[in-house]
Structure 1
């Protein structure tokens, strides 16, 4: 829709009574602005299928304006060269502001994404914690002195890259924005961040907090738009020197090609997964069942590292399945603003249809539908938590990422057998295992081909612990000290010492 009349802010009252003003414009050079062509698109609440508002859509000329603002901030302000503690203070202030606005931000996520308030509040808490963690790193990005003998002084510097393009997904809009912005800003870079078209609202609200926290105009630019238009322009833009993307593996491949076609941008990718969750005979069955719930049904199953392949050792298979089904029966699916809801809606009609199609595929392939497998109600994108048994490794529901509340469960006998099953995947993002034997835990963790291994827990994140994948699950790491390597480049300086003049 093209209009010059749509406002840059709309007042929204959330279903839980919280009211706030929602920005709708493009955040460029510290201000909200309409797109140059006045084009907008609608944002739909997935739990009600009702239109929330419209936001302005960035096209090529808008991306160019955002990149120019970022480049100017990098070249013509002291953001990249000042005492790094100043950047740290901005990030600390931003963390405080996220906490102060926590209920509004959580409500926006539940409205826009469909996730339960339980999940949204967890996202907001992780977001503020990560900004605070990055603030602590800001003045600790350093180089080293290299001893090459007395005739030279050799040392390294870690310097910012410049203008970064960042493209975030729709499953964790605010949290993924923090994972991208935190290390980028702590190291003195500037950015143009594109929101996911289905969930732009929380990142746009964050823009007001960025201004209040003291980030100079142009350092952070946040725009809304679609992958094939806005995202592609960012990926191809010659002034963008670093590209960070979180999303599907298929799109990640496209992003890499675009980066190579333009200017060989540095690229980090956090992509898909089909993660195994292994339950051994000596596991605490009740705790394992709860971790299986968190592993696959948290955030409506829309988690890249979801434990979507459960492997259970034969000695406890029947008992665990009973406990798992009982836990699912107590899991409330529905209105994300109901304080007792655990699983909200899927994020879009497209994702709902994709999940239901995979459920049909599973049935046709001969898998046993143990529970779930149906849409709930006629309005809102809700699906019952679904378990498939009697599966084999070549079934699509075992091999392909579904990205929803659908899990397969397979029986195994030995450690060697389950290691082979778990590693039989094109992905390698995460894995879980449950055992009371520390020797087994260490041995199996070492043999799993995954970027993260959780032991007796699942989907358990911390700002200081890196996250990222093996194989087709991506390149680079989010969080931890490793994330800062993504946003700096190493300069070696070697000075010849003239001893005759000393």
Structure 2
């Protein structure tokens, strides 16, 4: 059963029709638009449930996991569960970083698709020694971003998906505007015609500021500027301040720093990038997932995901049978 998201039913339906036209036998996949509550009530507790492949919020996935656990004694088999939930994806900048590629990665990583993808860069840690140059170039390039109709391919961004998303993202920007711990350096919103949130950059003095910790799912990048000599503290905040571990990237020219940071961030990102934006995994070639509350780290990709939905079966046929009960090792010497 394929249950599409409420906000993406039409595109999902057309893709489903493409599968049928390509030769997928009818009934192998059943396209079933429905409310999440109906699926949870009717499908998830069904004794024949074989598995759940979920994309959505960590709260919803946790609830589905609990429902399956509560019904485990009624199933004909143990259902398999794969989930990709949320992310608070980071860019960590070392003092040796090259600035122009960093700016490109920040803008593309944070603002492509209006920041409405799980891997979007949402927080960054920048050393004080680089911040003046980074700030100047980042704000200049961000101001040049074109926002408008997605049919115009010169636009990097379009509107966010619906009113609910607009209101949620807007609340985070308002929170930052009203806080003494943060400053909105650039960005605004406008719902007079469409739900537009323009690329927004927030600078905060608190590494645990709300927009540094919570998933926003919109074009909002929050930056914490750390003192160069306090890099260990910044690393610790990056690793420990959120419940997510989906994607992340580091920027450094020093090979020693790259090796050290890669080791430090071992458990902070299922997809980890070096000197690149924390987005852009190649579907069909790279697995995609994360640990902690970002999911089960086996959602999509190559055969790694397919194996989650198959059951290995071993068959033995003996062409040289024996009629002896005793083994050779049991013979008396």
- 2:59 aligned partner: 250
1:489 pairs, out of 302, 306, 311, with 311
User: How much has 1:340 moved relative to structure 2?
Assistant: 1.2
**Residue in structure 1 matched with residue 175 of structure 2 by the alignment:** 361
Match status 1:371 vs 2:186:
yes
User: Equivalent residue of 1:315, what SS?
Assistant: coil
Q: Quick check: 1:221 aligned with 2:30?
A: yes
Give the match for residue 423 of structure 1.
239
Q: Which position in structure 2 is the counterpart of 1:460?
A: 280
Distance 1:232 1:269, change over 3 A: farther
Partner of 1:102: none
TM-score by length of 2: 0.87
Q: Deviations over 1:214-236 (max 9, x none)?
A: 11111111121221223543323
Structure 1 position 442 matched with structure 2 position 259: yes
Name the structure where strand makes up a greater proportion of residues: 1
Q: TM-score, normalised by structure 1?
A: 0.59
The 3 A distance-change label for structure 1 pair 377 and 252 is: closer
Q: Which residue of 1 aligns with 2:329?
A: none
Q: Deviations over 1:452-497 (max 9, x none)?
A: 1111112121232211111111113121332123212234557787
RMSD value, Cα: 2.1
CA distance in 1, matches of 2:119, 2:15: 26
Matches within 5 A, 1:28-39: none
Partner of 2:14: 205
Moved over 4 A (4+): 492-498
User: Which structure 1 residue ranges, 5 or more long, are not aligned?
Assistant: 1-191
Cα distance in 2 for partners of 1:313, 1:238 equals 55
Shift of residue 293 of structure 1? Answer: 0.8
Query: Residue by residue, what CA displacement relative to the aligned partner does 1:358-404 show, whole Å, maximum 9, x if unpaired?
Result: 112223332111111x2135110101111111231332211111111
TM-aligned CA deviation for residue 498 of structure 1:
4.5
- Alignment correspondent of 1:170: none
Asked if structure 2 preserves the Cα contact closer than 8 Å seen for 1:259 and 1:267, the reply is no
Counterparts of 1:95-494 in structure 2, within 5 Å, are: 192-230=1-39, 232-262=41-71, 263=75, 264-366=78-180, 367-372=182-187, 374-376=188-190, 378-412=192-226, 413=228, 414-424=230-240, 425-448=242-265, 449-458=268-277, 459-462=279-282, 463-477=284-298, 478-492=300-314
| 2:94/2:257 contact within 8 Å kept | no
Q: Distance in 2 between matches of 1:268 and 1:200?
A: 21
Aligned partners of 2:291 and 2:297 also within 8 Å: no
Whole-Å Cα distance in 1 between the matches of residues 176 and 120 of structure 2?
Answer: 18
Gaps of 5+ in 2: 325-333
